[in-house]
Amino acid sequence: MEVTREIDVTGRICPGPLIAVAKEIRRLDAGALLRVTGDDPLFEETILEFCREGNHVVIETKREGKRVCIVLQRSTVS
Amino acid sequence: MNRERKEHLEEILKLREENAFFRKTLNETSAGQELLRQRKEFAQVLKVSQAVVSELDLQKVLNLVAQSAREIIEAETVVVPILNEERDHYAYMAAVGEGAGEFANLQYKIHVGMCGWVLRNERPLLFGEPAEWWIEEKTPWEEGQQSALLVPLSGRKGIIGGLSGLGKKGGGSFTEHDLELLTLFANQVSIAIENARLFQEKEEVISDLEKEKERLAVTLRSIGDGVITADMAGRVILINKVAEELTGWSQKEAAGQPLQSIFHIINEKTRIRCEDPVAKVLSSGKVIGLANHTLLIAKDGTERIIADSGAPIRDRESRVIGAVLVFRDITEKRKIESELLKIKKLESLGVLAGGIAHDFNNILVAILGNLSLATANLSPEDNLFPLLREAEKASLRAQGLTRQLLTFSKGGAPVRKLASMTEVIRDSCNFVLRGSRVRCTYRIPKDLWPVEIDTGQMSQVIQNLVINAVHAMPEGGTIEIACANLARGREEAPTLSEAPYVKILIRDRGAGIAPELIDKIFDPYFTTKEEGSGLGLTVTHSIVTKHDGHIAVASEKEGGTIFTIYLPAVTVKVPGGKSTPRTSPGKGNGKILVMDDKEIVRTVAWNMLTHAGYEIVSVVSGEEAVQYYRKAAEDGHPFDLVIADLTVPGGMGGTATAAEIHRTHPEAKIIASSGYSNDSVMADYEKFGFCGAVAKPYRMQELLEVVARVMEE
Ligand SMILES: Nc1ncnc2c1ncn2[C@@H]1O[C@H](COP(=O)(O)OP(=O)(O)O)[C@@H](O)[C@H]1O
């Protein structure tokens, strides 16, 4: 499946990345994919928690040094 | 931003520049100088904090805190996360600087993010320069990343939120020195935040209290009783609407006045002023009820009978701090009570009257019977004939009166059966209007619903109303009678139920009833007629009410009166109505046994029936009747008919006699006779084994009709 949107929040600090992701996901259609990359130390756990809360599916998590790249799918239930 | 604060900030900035300058130019500073400088800087932070402390509006405080903090630590953005009451979420209650708008209304669980970490651990956090990095397993800051500086805000009872600086202005990292300053600032302002919070809560409580007070005041004012409260000096504090109406004093005039001057009460009988109830309550500290017969005299002199009570008002410590007086106007209630008393008196009178009427009725039997006989034996040309007719007429009037009294004295429930008002109305009108100059027009729908009525009583109702209408039109005229089905009574009058009713309207074109009299016409003995008894409408009202009906009266301006009766209708199908064919009295033929304990009744019956050609045997008791009947049957000369009195003091009455005779001779024809036309047996004689019923006093026509009909059957 194609990633619809991609954002990079590298260098931004909590809760900046979270706010950015929340904003992006609202623009997506249900089921569409978003890739987000960040390096805030709490980036990964914050985004994963956000997905649990909103029923978004985490498709993939990749780590390259400090940078973490997460692909998530917008929840089909809204 | 107020001037003072601006100045402080400027000073801080200046000091900061100096600080930077020192750092750049001097690698070594003397410890004493450094201390002095830092002290100065801290003093400035304290001053800014004070400006914050003087503000009470929570949101303003938070905004001010965020702004000041941003300036103190030179942050791009400062946000203020505040914990909720349950301490499981935090929300950004204020944000200033870049992208501040994005934080509005954001709320996170306490375990989310750096803010969450600070709030959970109640420790500051510096994501920046080489400093110690507390979140061990996480990667520390690197050049190029946004720096963050967070400190907790602690109130009297633990953590309430935090201050969070995001991004050092111009890039780079927050410093430990920033951390110290922000911590100092946080310690100062957290109290201000907490105070503002408390203040806001207090405001809410106060506004709740005010609303409650308002509600109580409204309740008190709209209470149905008069309420006056007074202070310890007996001066009026509050007087509600009803009390205003009853005393004639308004809250404005009354407030502060001694109770005595607005609550003027006297004894109804002695007219001596009553003791001030509030003074009594205050001196005794007890609840008091007011004596009976208390009259309250209003400002305008209006007098009202009141019932009231007073009670002390106590504070939390149960000390008496005033008194409350509750009272109500019972003038109406008193009226009703005296009305009820009247009815009670009337009832006992009724019992008495009934007793007399019963005997009187028997005497009338003799008079009327003999008059009938005398006229029957006389040619109409005879001189005596008109005299006897007059005597008969007078006796009939007396009979009417006795009948009213008897209905009254019976007092009991009507004996109801399904009937149509159409017949009752037509029969009653014809009866009353015979030989009168008044005519009657009817508008009665064919499908008028039947009603469950005691036809005897209901005829009396119609007769009474029609008689009054005739009296109201001495010159003659027309009475209009109209009936209608009413699907829902309530729609017509509030006193009626939702059920269906039959409505009967009787209208005359007489003089009408004066407005000041219209309330009295149903009162017993109220009459405006020389020969009136004043009982007609009383009885009418009583009968209609006993039928669960309602009667109303209206007098019209241009003259004329309308009486309206509502009776509960039966809307299920009526079984085929039975009507009795009229038989004319012919030459009698047959043997009749008359049982009555009164000699005059027996004599009259004997006279009337022998006059008509029957063979009569009369007996005084039920036992005798049974005996005679059986004997005659055995002898082969049986009786064709028995007329039995229903009430025989101390002996077997008509019903028992009939049952006993029917035991051996089920074919026996027995007629019931009674002075109580509304006796339940009379209304429903067939149920009790009788073939007919005849009311005493006998009128020859009536008696012979019934006898002839039963004989023929
Ligand atoms: N149709 C009517 N028109 C005018 N007045 C009436 C009418 N019916 C009743 N009244 C008034 O009501 C009074 C009471 O009536 P009632 O109880 O029947 O007693 P009575 O007919 O013996 O006076 C009458 O005396 C008369 O003043």
Residue nearest to atom 1 of ligand 1 (CA): B469
How far is residue A18's CA from residue A56's CA, in Å, rounded to a whole number?
A: 14
pLDDT at B137: 65
User: Domain containing B93 — which CATH number?
Assistant: 3.30.450.40
Residue nearest to atom 13 of ligand 1 (CA): B527
How many angstroms away from the CA of B190 is the closest CA of chain A? 23
How far is residue B552's CA from residue B170's CA, in Å, rounded to a whole number?
A: 95
pLDDT at B470: 93
For the stretch A38-63, pLDDT in tens is 988 889 888 998 898 888 999 999 98
pLDDT at B35: 64
How many angstroms away from the CA of A59 is the closest CA of chain B? 21
Residue nearest to atom 7 of ligand 1 (CA): B468
B686 within a domain of the structure (yes/no): yes
Out of B329, B347, B374, a domain closes at B329
Q: Residues for chain A: how many in total?
A: 78
In the block, tokens 């009455």 appear at B653
B364 within a domain of the structure (yes/no): yes
Residue of B nearest to A17 (CA): B113
Asked if residue B307 and residue B179 are part of one domain, the reply reads no
Distance B521 CA to ligand 1 centre (A): 6
A78 within a domain of the structure (yes/no): no
Interface contact A49-B140, CB threshold 8 A:
no
Distance B431 CA to ligand 1 centre (A): 19
- Domain boundaries, position B444: 421-568
Angle of helix B176-222 relative to helix B58-73, nearest 10 degrees? 170
Distance B469 CA to ligand 1 centre (A): 8
Interface contact B148-A14, CB threshold 8 A:
yes
The identity of residue A78, as a single letter, is S
Query: By 3-state DSSP, what share of chain A in percent is helix, strand and coil, each rounded to 5?
Result: 30, 35, 35
Asked if residue B149 and residue B60 are part of one domain, the reply reads yes
How far is residue B668's CA from residue B628's CA, in Å, rounded to a whole number?
A: 13
**What's the domain count of chain B?**
4
Distance B462 CA to ligand 1 centre (A): 13
Q: Do the beta carbons of residue B343 and residue B408 sit within 8 Å?
A: no
Q: Rounded to the nearest 5°, which phi and psi values hold at B693?
A: -145, 145
pLDDT at B576: 38
Of B113, B138, B166, the CB nearest to A18: B113
Asked if residue B43 and residue B178 are part of one domain, the reply reads yes
As for ligand 1, residues whose beta carbon falls within 6 Å of it are: B 464, 468-469, 472, 508, 510, 513, 521, 526-529, 532-538, 561
User: Can you list the positions of beta strands (E) in B547-590?
Assistant: 550-555, 561-568
pLDDT at B587: 64
Interface contact B127-A41, CB threshold 8 A:
yes
pTM, rounded to two decimals: 0.43
pLDDT at B635: 86
Mutation for testing the B interface, residue in A18, A19, A42, A66 having most B CBs under 10 Å = A42
What SS3 state is found at A61? strand
Q: Do the beta carbons of residue B479 and residue B700 sit within 8 Å?
A: no
pLDDT at B442: 94
Q: Which of B658, B685, B650, B662 is nearest to B595 (CA)?
A: B658
Q: Do the beta carbons of residue B201 and residue B162 sit within 8 Å?
A: no
How many angstroms away from the CA of B40 is the closest CA of chain A? 32
Residue of A nearest to B143 (CA): A11
Chain B contact present for A63, CB below 8 A: no
Interface contact A12-B146, CB threshold 8 A:
yes
Residue of B nearest to A38 (CA): B145
A23 within a domain of the structure (yes/no): yes
**What's the domain count of chain A?**
1
Asked if residue B172 and residue B44 are part of one domain, the reply reads yes
How far is residue A71's CA from residue B481's CA, in Å, rounded to a whole number?
A: 93
How far is residue A56's CA from residue A73's CA, in Å, rounded to a whole number?
A: 6
Asked if residue B477 and residue B370 are part of one domain, the reply reads no
A11 within a domain of the structure (yes/no): yes
Asked if residue B65 and residue B103 are part of one domain, the reply reads yes
Distances (CA, A) of B74 to B34, B98, B192: 21, 12, 22
Q: What is the ipTM of this complex?
A: 0.88
DSSP conformation class of B318: -
A52 within a domain of the structure (yes/no): yes
**Sites in chain B below the pLDDT cut of 70:** 1-5, 15-37, 39-40, 130-134, 136-137, 290-291, 339, 342-355, 404, 407-415, 572-587, 677-678
pLDDT at B366: 85
User: Domain containing A36 — which CATH number?
Assistant: 3.30.110.40
User: Domain containing B688 — which CATH number?
Assistant: 3.40.50.2300
User: Domain containing B231 — which CATH number?
Assistant: 3.30.450.20
A19 within a domain of the structure (yes/no): yes
Asked if residue B396 and residue B427 are part of one domain, the reply reads no
Interface contact A11-B112, CB threshold 8 A:
no
Chain B contact present for A67, CB below 8 A: no
Asked if residue B449 and residue B371 are part of one domain, the reply reads no
Residue of B nearest to A10 (CA): B145
